[in-house]
Each structure stands twice: as structure tokens, then as C-alpha cells.
Amino acid sequence: MKLTCAQEHLAKGLSIVGRAVPSRSPMAILSNILLATDGGRLKLAATNLDIGITCWIEAQAEDEGAITIPARLLQEFVSSLPSGEVALTLKPDRLTAHLRCGASEANIKGVDAEEFPPIPRVDGQVTASVEREALHTAVHQVALAAATDETRPVLAGVLFRLRGGKLTLAAADGFRLAVRTVEVSAPVDTSYDVIVPARATVELARIVPDDAEMIDLTVTPNRSQVLFHTGDPATGRGGITAIELVSRLIEGTFPNYEQIIPARFATRVVATTKDFQNATRIASFFARDASNIVRIHAQPGEELTPGKLIVAATSADVGDAVSGIDAVIEGNDLQIAFNAKYLGDVLGVLNTAQLSLEMNTPASPGVIRPVGGDGYLYVIMPMHTQNAGR
Amino acid sequence: MPLRVLPPEVARLIAAGEVVTRPADVVKELVENAIDAVIERQAHDRSAEPPAIRVEIRSGGLALIRVVDNGSGIAADDVELAFQRHATSKVATAADLDAIHTLGFRGEALASIGAVAQVQILTRPPEASAGVSVTVEQGQVTSRRQQGCGAGTTVAVRNIFANVPARRKFLRGQTSEATQISQLVTHYALAYPEIRFVLVNDDRATLQTSGRGDLAETVVDVLGVKVAEQLLPVADADAAVAVSGYVGTPELIRPTRSGLTFFVNRRIIRSPMLGHAVTDAYPAAMLAGRFPVAILNVSIPAELVDVNVHPTKAEVRFASDHAVYQLVHRAVRMTLGDRAPLPELALTPPEAWSDTPLPAGPDQERRPAVRSTTTDPGAVAAAQTLAFFAPSASNGAAGDATAATGARERQRDGAAEARPEPTAIRLSALRPVGQVQGTYVVAEDDAGVYFVDQHAAHEAILYQQMRETRQCAPPAICASQELLQPQAIDLTPRQAQSLAGQGEQLASLGFGVEPFGERSGLLRRVPSGIRHRDYVRTLLEILDLLAAQAEDPSATSAFDQASARLACHSAVRDGDTLSLDEMRELLAQVERQPNLWSYCPHGRPIFLRLSSAQLARDFRRR
């Protein structure tokens, strides 16, 4: 194995696949990164057995070969090198990598590439191509509603539902639901429901570079693995020619979330996202000691006075806080209580200036949507206290 | 069969049967007499030798019981009288019975014992020049002679129940009898730290107290350092009644009530009421059918308590059970809740160092074993020693004097040992350092390093919050969070029944659940803050608890247990990685809880402390 590549490309590639390296694992080999020549490029790969990330970077390979090297040491070494060409060769024992760049060189002991667990191959037809920007935002807005524990495994995942040329992402942890629909370019005449572990979607959003255009999804015929692919070997930019993330899929059926979404409302609030977010943040400081309860009071305006949205929290120990923000309120006067975290989560991911909050009763769900935005909605279940609604 | 009046020897045996059923009863009667005698002598003559009582038994007391005191003795002419029923020097008129300050008063002890065994008395009042020895068998005096002896009384009881085979048959083994006796003497040793007690069992001294009047020291003598270290001093009083003594930390739990020892005016008694007063002060879930350890004395004016209600005086009747319960409960509660010391963490140097002898320090420091929990342990320990079990004013001048001397000595000792580190919780501004093993938060303040069990701490906070929510008026319900979709839950018939009957209790805990068919329920709301993964399991456990309470209404509050269960399921888990902010928040919450237990509802400690001084010592910086 003998090749050269740019230090920036190698450093970037390592930071991408490094996301899949487990911080602690009983399998020592998993804390290594696989380096292999692949058709004149350098392939980097890492896996924690739940997900595997593979990344190809431009390189001039003179000799084929492969090795695995401890991820952390390699990352630290490469990122400290000056920019320039890095020459990588394998020592005759095939277990030591020699790296040289500028004035520095290093020998790093590795493990035979044969021992590295194979990252599952996902063959088959691409089932959907989505704009990077759209998928990135959708994951960002949806994954936060997934459950963080594994009691009901399907709830720890994000539903990817492909129907009639649209891809819908949905996640719910039992107390809230987030749904986002994105357009699929080059619609394929197929439909499916698969559940991707939330962590895999978050990693996907993190590793796909800003300048990527499309992300392709491929699902194995037996619905056990999903592959996200971006980039093109021929036209790769920034030295990263292609990135792939393979994840296992969660078995099971996602709850029928559509029936949870209320069809009508008795009170609708339209408020400035930033104002509502600030008011919620202020209340959350006081809600911390009071079961995280934030009380919301929607007061419709009169002929001459605008509507008000009151956001308040009270802690017996700490004190209380109230913020009143201007809002357009249709329908009934209503008081309701929400968990400050669930409210804060969604307010942090809305990317429109205004939002709408639709409600019916203090005991039924509230629905938050971006105003003038696209197919996003967030259903949040209310809380109850002795004082709620009074 | 014609009726007839029983001959005197039969009547004697029957009467004796009420007082003396086993060797331990004999020891009890004799030791009580001995205590009365030594106290009486001290009261008349302060310069007398320090009071001491020696108990000797052989074969579990069946072969021999000998009780030796250096008390006031019996005048030579009165000795035979002592063996007659209702012969006593302690009560003269009926009015005296309303204000009994001595342990004995009925004049039945010696008569009863004399009826069932061979009894030899050797006695000499301090002022008499010679002693007298009298032997009684089956109620008859068989020998009498003058004999030289020390001041005081020696009673030797041999061949107990030789003439009552039926009684003998029902005795348990010698070991069991010896254990009973040992426990009895232990209790009296604790009640009278100013009397030096020695117990000799088959020629082996099994118990020995210093008699210096210092209870803390006596506790170490009789219970050992290990137990003593886990005892917390109790002291409280209202206008009439005072309670003092020690209770065990919630770590010190026994499967039976055997660790609960109560004295009323230093008379050992059985009292379910006092047992409840103590047990109820501990978190119910922690005990879970087990019992704490307590050694408590209730000092109460003689007119507010009737000790003459039980043949062996094992029970007393209070004028107001309620007032006594309240006081004891409050005292124990305060001790546990506010001032339980943090368990100290001892560092053990690695093995390799152990060939270098450690400085003598640690061993000496072991000695003051019972930790004080106040800011100035030296002074307050002394004060508590004075207050503790101090004889009531009417009969205890002598006791006071010895106790005071002991206390002063201790105070000096304490100063010399230089361990004035308050171990009370004073958690101002704990700084989180990090988390170890995914389980413990490490924090520090100026006084030392703390290991905080993250799960236990969080659990205790939640439990406390739930109790407070429950206690406010009108009782608030716990906040609850609506579920996105109602969840059907399978129930056992028992759970279904308790769901049908106890919906209100569940609602007050934050569960919204309704019956849904015969054997299932529909869960709509869960307590806020509960971990997602656990809410169904928690609900089922609570339904079981409520069912158990419905079947046995006398069981301890199912609500407390349910709260504890809920707190446990809502708290962070072992293995949950906490950010520094989360740790800070956890510690801040602990600091904000004024009445936080140092123990979680399961009784495990929340904090371990490694004091700066201990660190410095272990690193030999000083």
C-alpha cells in the first residue's frame, strides 16, 4: 500500500468517519479506522455495528493495500500536520502504517484489515433522492421527538415513509410527535415505511457536507438496512468524493400517527417565533423545579386591543415569571400547560418568523406549525396540575 | 371436687409463677434490686465507692445466678422479712404508688424467687460491722449465720425450678436463657451508664462497662464500635416529658424488633407505641418490614405514668400516649432528617504500604465512636451526655455528679483527640468535579470531597417533593403529562380490582388510568418526569401496593411506599451520563431541600464524604 493525498482531505475524511467510532466498545477493533485503496481513491471506514460510515477521498495510489489504525491517534496526528501532501505507506510487516508530511513522519501500529467487521453492503436500486438541504432540515426538526430509551424500540427511531413521490419523516416519544414531509426529486414508483434509528439520522445530518446536493436512499429488499449516499466518485468536491452511511433498520410498525393530529381547533394563536421562544426560555428557568410546567394563556384581543399570549411558570421554591407577547388569536380564550422542554425543543428548530399554535381544550393536544413554511407540524400533549387551567 | 383453700406452699408457687417464669426473670428482679440499692447508697453517701453490679451465671442461669452489688445492703434483722411477700422498703403508703422512683416496689421479688429455688443472701449495710448470710429453700429459712463481707448485697440463686418440674420442662436451652440474660444486663448497662456492670457467663466475662457515666462510652462497651458508629444522638423535650438516647442510621436495620430498646424513667419496658413512634419516623419504603435500632429513655414525671400494670413491670401506661408518641417521633425525625451525619469515607492505603506502621491516630480516634452531629462536637457531646439518661431530679443527685465528672473527662479527651470536624450536612455550594463509573457524582467544597450517588440523591429529592406536594393543604396532585395515545395495559385480577377502587390515589400520584374491560386498563396520563421506559412497570407496582393495603389496612402507608417507588423510577439511573450542568443542577436541588435525608428512600446513603483533613492525614501531610 502506497499513496499520497492532501492533508486537508484526509483530516476531513477522518472526522467524518470518526463519528461512527464508538467511544467505548468491548471490541477493540471498532476503535480503529479502516484505510484502503479503492479504485485510485482512499477509502476510510468506521463502524459501531449500528451504523457504518464510509468516505472516499482523492488520492494518488501507487500500490493497493489496506490496514486499520487507532482512530484517535490517527485523527490527532493528521489534524496537527501542516497542509500539504501526506504520504502513506505500509511497512513490510503490513501492520504498521508510515505517514510522512512536511517535516513530520510517524509509524503507527495497526491491525490487519481482515479483522475489521465488514460494513454491510446495500445493493439495489436507489429508492429516493432528496435535496440535502431539505433532508437535513427535516431530520433536525423531527429526530428531536424520538424517544431516548429503548422501551419501545420503534419510538427510538424516525419513520421514513415514501408515498407517491413524497418522503415523510415522523418521530414520537409518547408525549409529542414531529412530522415533516419533503419532496423527492426523481420520484420512483415505490412506497415503503422504514424506521431508521434516530441516532443514525442525526449522524447523517452531521456528516453530510454543506456543498452536497442530493442524498440517495437505498433500502435492502429485506428491509433490514438503509444506505444514505451522497457524492459522485467522478465529480467529488473538496477532495471528498463520496460519503455513505449504512444503518440497520428498526423492526416493527410505527404507530398510526395521523389519527393523533387534530383535524380542527377551537383556538389558534399566531405569534412571532422568536418572542415565543424567549418567553418559553424565561419560563423554563422557573419551571425546572416545578415538574417543568409552563402555563400558556391565549387571550383573544378586543376590537382595539391585540391578542396576548401569556407564558408563565411558578416554582414554590424559586419564584415565578410571566411574559406577555403580542399575538393574533382566533377563537376561544384558553389556558393550557406544556412541558417546557417539549415546547423549547420545537421552538428551536422552526425556521420561519412566525408560528401557529392550535388548541382545543386544556386536556387535548396542541399543534405547532411554521407559518408560511412547508410541511412541518409538531403535536405536543398538555400537562396537568392542580392549578392548570385556572 | 370440693372447693378448698390452697395450702400456703402451693399459693406461693402460683404467685411466683407470675413473676418468675425463667432465669432471666430472676436476673431482672435481682438486678433491679441491686440498682435501687446502689443508687440509694450513692444518694446518702457521695463519697462511697463507685457503684458496681456484677452478675454471674452458670448453665444459662439454671445452675447458678449470682448478683453482687455494693449498695446499701439489708439490715441483719430484716433479711428474713425480705423473703416474705409484700415486704419492701420502697413503698409505705398507697400514695407512694403514685410516685414510684425505684425500680422495685412490690416486695414480691425475693419471695417469688425463694419459692422456686434455693436462695442465699449475704449482705451488710455499709454502717454495720458484720454481714449476715441467710439461706432459704422452698420458702423456708434453712441456715443463718454471721459472716464478714464487703458492703452491699450478694444474692445467689441455685437450682432454680428444682421443685417446679413443669416450669423447668418449658425452659429453652441454656444458650437461649444465657442470651436472654445477657440482653437484659446489656439493657440495664445502657440505662445506667454511671453503674459499672460486669456479666460473667460460665466464668467468662462477656460484658463490662466502665461505669464512668458516659453513655457514648457505654454504647461502645456493650454494642461495639461498629454499631456505635452508626448511632445518632437523640435529645428533645417538651414541658413535662423528655426523650434522650440514640437511634440507628437508616443503614442499621434489623430483621426484627430486637434492636428497639425503650426505658421509661430508666426502667426497661416493652411498648408497641414507642416502637411505632420510632419506626414511623423512618421512611416507610426504606424499612420495608424491617426495623431500625433505637435505645431511648423517656423521662416523665412519675405521676404521668403508671408502672404498676404488669406482673413483671414490663409494660407501663402513660397518661397520654399521644403526647409521648408525638415527642419521640419528632425527636427521632429531627435527628434523622436534619442532622444525620454524612458517612465518612475511609481511605485504605495500598497493601504495599502496610508494613510501615500507621501513626497511632486512627485507633485513638475510633474511640469516640458515637459521632456527634453538631458544629462543636466536643461541647455538645458533653452536654448530651449530661442530659442523657440523667436520673430525674428527685432521685438522681449522685448520678448527676458521676455523669458530670465523666462528661468533663470526655470533654478533655475529645480535645486531646482533636477531631472537631463537624460531619453534619452543610452542603453550601458544592462544586461538581465530575462523574465516576457513570454512577457517582464527585463534588467538593472547602471541607472535603463528596461522592454523591446520583440515583439515590435524585430519588430522595423526588420523594421529598412528592411528600411535600401531598402534605400541602389542600393536597395537591402530582403534575402529570398526557400521553399522545392512550395505552392499554394488561392487569392481573388483583391489580384490576385496586384500579377500580383506588383511582383517586393514582390520580394524586399523577397517573390517569381508567378501567378498560375486565382485565386491562387504559393509561392516559403519567406523572411528569417519570422515565418513559418505566411508567407501565411503575403503575403495575403501585397497583400491587394499593391492593396489598386494601387487604391489610393496618399496613404502613401504601402512599409513602408508592411515592418511593415512583421516585425511584423517575430518578436518573446508574450509568446515565450526566453533563456538568446536570450535576450542578442535581447538587443545587439537594442544597435546596432543607429536610433532605442523607439516605434515599431505600435506606442507602446518598453522600460519602472524604474530609480534607482525612485526605491530608492519609497523604501524611500532617
- The residues facing B172 across adjacent strands are none
> What is the pLDDT at residue A67?
93
Q: Are residues A300 and A375 in the same domain?
A: yes
Is the per-residue pLDDT at B362 higher than 80? no
CB A341 within 8 A of CB A284: yes
Q: Are residues A82 and A100 in the same domain?
A: yes
Q: Is any Cβ of chain B less than 8 angstroms from the Cβ of A317?
A: yes
Q: Are residues A213 and A269 in the same domain?
A: no
Average pLDDT over residues A151-156: 86
- Binary contact (A291, B585; C-beta < 8 A): no
- Binary contact (A260, B485; C-beta < 8 A): yes
| B282/B564 Cα distance (integer angstroms) | 13
Is the CA virtual torsion B56, B60, B64, B66 positive or negative? positive
Q: Are residues A266 and A373 in the same domain?
A: yes
Q: Are residues A44 and A97 in the same domain?
A: yes
Could you tell me which residue, A267 or B527, shows the higher pLDDT? A267
Tell me the per-residue pLDDT of A249-282, one tens digit each, with 9 for 90 and over: 999 999 999 988 999 999 999 999 999 999 999 9
Count of C-beta atoms within a 10 Å radius of residue A313: 26
> What is the pLDDT at residue B473?
47
Q: Are residues A276 and A221 in the same domain?
A: no
Highest mean pLDDT among A293-302, B280-289, B335-344, B384-393: A293-302
Look at residue A385 and tell me if it is in a domain: no
Could you tell me which residue, B239 or A15, shows the higher pLDDT? A15
Could you tell me which residue, B417 or B253, shows the higher pLDDT? B253
Average pLDDT over residues A306-326: 88
DSSP SS3 for A237: strand
pLDDT band at B302 (very low <50, low <70, confident <90, very high): confident
Could you tell me which residue, A351 or B383, shows the higher pLDDT? A351
B368 prior amide bond cis, ω within 30: no
Tell me the per-residue pLDDT of A42-58, one tens digit each, with 9 for 90 and over: 999 999 888 999 999 98
Return the residue of B nearest to A255 by Cα. B485
Total length of chain A? 390
Compute chain A's Rg from CA coordinates: 25
Tell me which of A257, A291, A325 is where a domain ends: A257
Backbone region of residue A389 per phi and psi (left: phi > 0; alpha: psi in -120 to 50; beta: other values)? left
B219 membership: H or E segment, kind and range: helix B215-229
pLDDT band at B517 (very low <50, low <70, confident <90, very high): confident
Return the residue of B nearest to A150 by Cα. B533
CB A7 within 8 A of CB A78: yes
> What is the pLDDT at residue B218?
84
| B453/B432 Cα distance (integer angstroms) | 13
Assembly ipTM: 0.76
Chain B residues with CB-CB distance to A155 below 8 A: 532
Tell me the per-residue pLDDT of B577-588, one tens digit each, with 9 for 90 and over: 777 777 887 787
> What is the pLDDT at residue B18?
60
- The 3-class secondary structure across B90-111, one letter per residue, is CCCCHHHHHCCCCCCCCCCHHH
> What is the pLDDT at residue B265?
85
Look at residue A216 and tell me if it is in a domain: yes
Q: Are residues A6 and A107 in the same domain?
A: yes
> What is the pLDDT at residue A69?
93
pLDDT band at B400 (very low <50, low <70, confident <90, very high): very low
pLDDT band at B409 (very low <50, low <70, confident <90, very high): very low
Tell me which of A115, A142, A159 is where a domain ends: A115
Average pLDDT over residues A156-184: 92
Q: Are residues A111 and A134 in the same domain?
A: no
Chain A residues with CB-CB distance to B484 below 8 A: 172, 174-177, 255, 260, 365, 379, 381
| B148 Cβ neighbours under 8 A, 6+ residues apart | B130, B131
Look at residue A361 and tell me if it is in a domain: yes
Q: Are residues A268 and A250 in the same domain?
A: no
Could you tell me which residue, A24 or B206, shows the higher pLDDT? B206
pLDDT band at B594 (very low <50, low <70, confident <90, very high): low
| A166/A382 Cα distance (integer angstroms) | 30
Could you tell me which residue, B186 or B537, shows the higher pLDDT? B186
**Which of B239-253, B388-402, B422-436, B550-564 has the least mean pLDDT?**
B388-402
Q: Are residues A268 and A371 in the same domain?
A: yes
Is the per-residue pLDDT at B313 higher than 60? yes
| B6/B365 Cα distance (integer angstroms) | 64
> What is the pLDDT at residue B344?
54
Look at residue A390 and tell me if it is in a domain: no
- Binary contact (B528, A291; C-beta < 8 A): yes
| B470/B445 Cα distance (integer angstroms) | 33
Domain of A44 in residue numbering reads as: 2-115
- Binary contact (A383, B477; C-beta < 8 A): no
Look at residue A123 and tell me if it is in a domain: no
| Structural domains in chain B, sorted by start | 8-210 (3.30.565.10), 212-340+371-419 (3.30.230.10), 342-348+425-622 (3.30.1540.20)
Q: Are residues A105 and A143 in the same domain?
A: no
User: What is the least distance, in Å, from the CA of B492 to any CA of chain A?
Assistant: 21
- Binary contact (B482, A385; C-beta < 8 A): no
> What is the pLDDT at residue B160?
83
pLDDT band at B415 (very low <50, low <70, confident <90, very high): very low
Q: What is the CATH number of the domain that holds A208?
A: 3.10.150.10
Look at residue A389 and tell me if it is in a domain: no
Count of C-beta atoms within a 10 Å radius of residue A253: 9
Query: How many domains are contained in chain A?
Result: 3
B463 membership: H or E segment, kind and range: helix B454-471
> What is the pLDDT at residue B404?
42
CB A298 within 8 A of CB A330: no
Tell me the per-residue pLDDT of B247-288, one tens digit each, with 9 for 90 and over: 888 777 777 777 888 888 888 888 888 888 888 777 654 556
DSSP SS3 for B286: helix
pLDDT band at A144 (very low <50, low <70, confident <90, very high): very high
Average pLDDT of the residues of chain A: 88
Tell me which of A222, A257, A292 is where a domain ends: A257
Q: Are residues A252 and A136 in the same domain?
A: yes
| B250 Cβ neighbours under 8 A, 6+ residues apart | B282, B283, B286, B292, B336, B340, B597, B599, B603
Is the per-residue pLDDT at A197 higher than 60? yes
